[in-house]
Structure 1
Amino acid sequence: MSTATRSSGLFVDGGWRPAAGRIPVLDKYSGEVVAEIAAATEPDVKDAIAGAHAASSRPLEPAERARVLETVAGLLDARAGEFVADYVAETGFTTADARNELRRAASIYRLSAQEALRIAGEQVPLSATPGSENRLAFTVRVPVGVVVAIAPFNAPLSTVAHKIGPAIAAGNAVVLKPAEKTPLSALNVVQAFADAGLPPGFLQLVCASGSAIGSALLDDDRVRFYTFTGSTAVGRVISAGAGLARTHLELGSNSVSIVAADARLDDVVRLVATAGFRKAGQVCTSVQRILVDESRFDDLTTALAERVKALTAGDPRAEGTDLGPLIAESEAARAEEWVSRSAARLRVGGERNGSVLTPALLADPAPESEVLSKEIFAPVVSVVPVRDFDEAIARVNEGRYGLQAGVFTQDLDRAFHAARELRVGGVMINDTSSYHADAMPYGGVKDSGHGVEGPRYAVEDMTDPRIVVLNLHRPE
């Protein structure tokens, strides 16, 4: 992306705009300023919503939506070097993480392109209703209109794709607000949509803090759908302010994996070593707690400690680095403090150097500790012994969150019992809570939010069914 384009964080009605306010973007490992982008104001937001509303009144044909989305996916592949470099700088995640997420984002846009061609209604059997024997009824699905997409810092490519890909596939216009700390990936994606020939108005970009423009995004009846990924606290604000607009909220979590007495511990250790620490643990479904049958507690903690010790934290660009820094030094300091207050009997890692926190494994923290009751969003995994499988399920269900859970067992009856009883959005059998394929429905319950991602499911949610009824008569 050119320096001139990079200087703007505002894309309204097909063009980049300057702005008086600036947002510095820091390299999360070095702390250096790598870019400064334009900061949107409330009038800018109103212009963006107005432009999106005007565009949504003339939806693109499905074939054109699919063409644009396929072209964007190809541009992500072609511009991989630029995307990866910006992603690593603004997030602090490793180059491997960046490449993986770029591949996922391209796949999500391709899945969305396919869904643009599959949107259809259904016949409604009104003729079976007394008095409606001559009527033929069917539904068509129409775009909701303007979608506001608010993205998190920890997945600035794939989560953005999960929001704007289905929205555009459904025929809507989108106002995108990326996280203030990680806007560069969004700038690159918006430029790709412009280069792919998306007409003006269908994708607007406003970069700013939520406190600066949140009210303007919420206080506008022209917005018909909000899709947000972030904290439960902010999700409550959006839910309260959205009015009659629909919402998809993917919120906080404290994800659990249950290890039964008959589990294969080698699988648990291998999968948790990735799922608990990738992206420095800053993933909604990161394994934060392992509830293990007490008969396997010692074996699991010993094996997992050896695996965690081998992980390397540091420069995300260096070969062999498994995890980089947290998004900010203040977040690393908070996590370090939570670990120190956890009263765990065994600890591996947990040392901090600036914003880098070495992977930490805690054994049997205090039940009331933050590491067990809140979302730590850091490379910290706690192992907790439980008497039996039912106690593990009860502990998950009594918590405030319910995104996904992992269950490790070789007993089919036990696996299905967990799938029926766990009050979460997804149950992963013989996998961790972190498993997520982009084509599947993904979302939570309780304080983890509502609604699901996944192009097929999001496209349905971002369209309205319109009933058409024909009152037919026999020809004369």
Structure 2
Amino acid sequence: MKKKWSLWIGGHWRDAKAYEPLYNPHTDEELAEIGQAEPADAVEAIVEAHAAFQKFRTVPAHARAKILYKAAEIMEARSEECAKVIALEAAKSIRNAREEMNRTVQTYRFAAEAAKSNYGEQIPMDAAEGGENRFGFTIHTPMGVVTAITPFNFPFNLVAHKVGPAIAAGNAIVLKPAEQTPLSSLLLAEIFKEAGLPDGVLNIIPGKGEVLSEALTTHPYVKNVTFTGSVEVGHIIHRQAGFRKLTLELGSNSPFIIDEGVDIDKVIERSVLGSFSYNGQVCISIQRIYVHRTLYKSFLEKFIARTKQLVIGSPLDENVNITAVISKKSLNRLQTWINEAVQSGAKVECGGTVEGNVLTPTVLTNVSRDSKVFRNEIFGPVVCIFPFDTLEEAINDANDSIYGLNSGIMTNNMEHAFYAAEHLETGGVIINDIPTFRIDNMPYGGWKDSGVGREGIKYAMKEMMEEKFISFKTK
């Protein structure tokens, strides 16, 4: 892989005025020099995208689908190379990186299928007085330029959830990848060029969010903004974007409820996976586990025992589960939050120590509801475990949050399952599995401060199109 990466604008590499080193979070080794876009570069990319859109909007659906299928094919052939890029720049274990690439290929294939499934609906005009002799229907049309700002934790697949539907819809896109993981996105320039995407439809401009966000959200050619990241930044983008269509996938602190009567041995492995996969740096990572009091002691003992078995080491080691968190800033924040929780009465059941750039998987009990580890999104390998007596009590506590992305419940009681489905205040309720469950064609998005709009390819594609109603008077 080359060591110096520029900006991808209008189908060509453009030199940046400044370059910054990109480091491996696990080893601190320099991986590459990355061009840093300035506002003028963002404007140029948007103008190029707007010009490309004028032609691309007329490209038929089957041709757009063919490009997406070809990109998926190329990505599949290069999946091991791409997985190693994820492992190096994101410090994701190589096994998790391969899983991400498998999902990414599937996501682009879902996008190809969605491109060919753009349906409107017929409106029964004569259902209303005065609607006789009229024929009404809706169509969905591409919007224009979509700007996408993506996070570090799934640098291929979460990008695919924005690039894929944008192309499927017939839009052009300007992508600003996460500052920590630009390489995964920059590889898309080569992949989509080879797949036959016209120049200017995809533009990739690495750089700092605070430098580029205003141009990406306020330029008059920008019709849609899609962002995945923190609540704080989401609020800024919401204010900047005005009346543009927005998709905001923001924070969470997912609750997981284990009801009475559940076989604990069958849920331990999934619970640990949902809490610590990719070091807890997943939007729907389990942050709070509620266990019925009759099962609490047994669950806690077995959960801690399994957590202690997780292997810490290099992301490139096939046997490793836990690696470095994304940055020293994140590591320091996590340590501060744990210390604050302990000072408020929390008990560290295991973990809580630092090895190099790694925070060992941490289990907390007796956590104050005022602690940041309860109130905020941890985004690290930390989980809080609570006992409960009644399901209503657990759900009320789970809902005591500004977030509402995914929640989960394990239960053998059908009434409890439907009660939870109705009363949990989250965009997704996962019954009899962990809230960390996601497949790439399901609707995905949050309530409350977890965001607005929905992803999941066909749902994201709809967010990126305008609906037009057409009426014909027949006589």
Shorter-chain TM range is over 0.9
Aligned to 2:111: 112
What is the Cα deviation at residue 131 of structure 1?
Answer: 2.8
Counterpart code for 1:466: K
CA offset digits 1:421-475 (Å, max 9, x no partner): 11101111111110001110011110111111111111122111212222222xx
Counterpart code for 2:28: G
Query: 2: CA distance between counterparts of 1:229 and 1:91?
Result: 16
Q: Higher mean Cα deviation, 394-403 or 462-471?
A: 462-471
Query: 2: CA distance between counterparts of 1:335 and 1:142?
Result: 45
Quick check: 2:80–2:98 contact (8 Å CA) kept in 1?
no
With normalisation by structure 1, the TM-score equals 0.96
SS of equivalent residue, structure 1 residue 54: helix
Query: 1: CA distance between counterparts of 2:305 and 2:367?
Result: 19
SS of equivalent residue, structure 2 residue 26: coil
Identity, in percent, stands at 39
Q: Are 2:295 and 1:293 equivalent residues in the alignment?
A: no
Q: Alignment partner for residue 423 of structure 2, among 421, 424, 433? A: 421
Unpaired stretches in structure 2, ≥5 consecutive residues: none
Query: 1: CA distance between counterparts of 2:237 and 2:348?
Result: 40
Aligned to 2:206: 207
SS of equivalent residue, structure 1 residue 195: helix
CA offset digits 1:382-426 (Å, max 9, x no partner): 111123111111112221110100101100000000000111011
Aligned to 2:11: 14
Aligned to 1:239: 238
CA offset digits 1:39-91 (Å, max 9, x no partner): 11111100111111122223121111101100010111111232122111100
CA offset digits 1:22-51 (Å, max 9, x no partner): 121111111011000211111110011111
Q: Are 2:409 and 1:410 equivalent residues in the alignment?
A: no
Counterpart code for 2:112: A
Q: Alignment partner for residue 46 of structure 1, among 29, 43, 48? A: 43
What is the Cα deviation at residue 322 of structure 1?
Answer: 0.6
| 1:17-28 mapped onto 2 (5 Å cutoff) | 17-28=14-25
Aligned to 1:158: 157
What is the Cα deviation at residue 319 of structure 1?
Answer: 3.0
Aligned to 1:36: 33
Quick check: 2:408–2:430 contact (8 Å CA) kept in 1?
yes
Aligned to 2:135: 136
Aligned to 1:123: 122
Quick check: 1:167–1:459 contact (8 Å CA) kept in 2?
yes
Query: 1: CA distance between counterparts of 2:331 and 2:267?
Result: 26
SS of equivalent residue, structure 1 residue 398: coil
Aligned to 1:347: 349
CA offset digits 1:88-132 (Å, max 9, x no partner): 110001000110000100000000000100102111121333333
Quick check: 2:84–2:316 contact (8 Å CA) kept in 1?
no
| 1:424-435 mapped onto 2 (5 Å cutoff) | 424-435=426-437
Q: Are 2:73 and 1:74 equivalent residues in the alignment?
A: yes
Aligned to 1:360: 362
Query: 1: CA distance between counterparts of 2:202 and 2:465?
Result: 17
Quick check: 2:348–2:362 contact (8 Å CA) kept in 1?
no
Query: 2: CA distance between counterparts of 1:370 and 1:19?
Result: 39
CA RMSD of aligned residues (A): 1.3
What is the Cα deviation at residue 346 of structure 1?
Answer: 4.5
Q: Higher mean Cα deviation, 316-325 or 62-71?
A: 316-325
Query: 2: CA distance between counterparts of 1:132 and 1:340?
Result: 67
Unpaired stretches in structure 1, ≥5 consecutive residues: none
Q: Are 2:254 and 1:255 equivalent residues in the alignment?
A: yes
Query: 2: CA distance between counterparts of 1:288 and 1:137?
Result: 48
Q: Alignment partner for residue 54 of structure 2, among 52, 57, 62? A: 57
Quick check: 2:108–2:164 contact (8 Å CA) kept in 1?
yes
With normalisation by structure 2, the TM-score equals 0.97
Counterpart code for 2:49: A
Counterpart code for 2:466: D
| 1:249-288 mapped onto 2 (5 Å cutoff) | 249-288=248-287
SS of equivalent residue, structure 1 residue 108: helix
